[in-house]
């Protein structure tokens, strides 16, 4: 069983303006836990990719929706969990784009999840109680 050192819960409106709020909150938390600047930059890229995709594609109605982010610090692992009540979508099932193809011949999309998979050590998806739950983990690198 994982021994949780610290857990943070962030709830933000599903809108692009939430990205800068989330980045500031996560940067402050990362600094508190002495995470390296490189580690923080990688988390920022993942955060931007996931939030942007949720805001742009998760909802088909104009109602106000929210993104929940749980940050969990385990002894040697950092876990980020994104949750939203948008349209069911498993980003881990997206076929990797053919990077050998010329960009103009390649199907649009899919590069963001490749970036996320390359940065994080594990990326898993579940649909729980009508919510998309994206669970990502990365081995902690401190300053």
Which CATH number is 52's domain given? Answer: 3.30.565.10
Distance CA 137, CA 43 (A): 10
Predicted TM-score (pTM) of the model is 0.86
The pLDDT assigned to 17 comes to 94
- Does residue 1 lie in a domain region? no
Residue with tokens 């940067």: 27
In this predicted structure, what is the pLDDT of residue 98? 57
State the total domains in the chain.
1
Task: Give me the pLDDT at residue 107, please.
Answer: 57
Chunked mean pLDDT (size 10), the chain, 143 residues: 79 95 92 90 94 93 95 92 96 71 56 86 96 96 69
At residue 33, the 3 state secondary structure works out as coil
Does residue 134 lie within any of the structural domains? yes
The per-residue pLDDT for 141 is 74
């Amino acid at each position: 069983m994982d021994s949780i050192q610290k857990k943070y819960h962030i709830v933000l409106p599903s809108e692009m303006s939430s990205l800068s709020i989330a980045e500031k909150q996560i940067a402050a938390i990362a600094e508190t836990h002495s995470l390296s600047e490189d580690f923080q930059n990688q988390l920022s890229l993942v955060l931007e990719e996931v939030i942007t995709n949720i805001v742009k594609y998760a909802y088909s109605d104009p109602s106000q929706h929210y993104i929940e982010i749980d940050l969990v610090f385990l002894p040697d692992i950092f876990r980020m969990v994104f949750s939203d009540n948008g349209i069911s979508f498993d980003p881990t099932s997206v076929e990797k784009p053919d990077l050998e193809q010329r960009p103009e011949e390649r199907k649009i999309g899919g590069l963001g999840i490749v970036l996320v998979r390359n940065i994080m050590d594990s990326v898993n998806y579940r649909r729980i109680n009508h919510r998309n739950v994206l669970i990502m983990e990365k081995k902690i690198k401190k300053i």
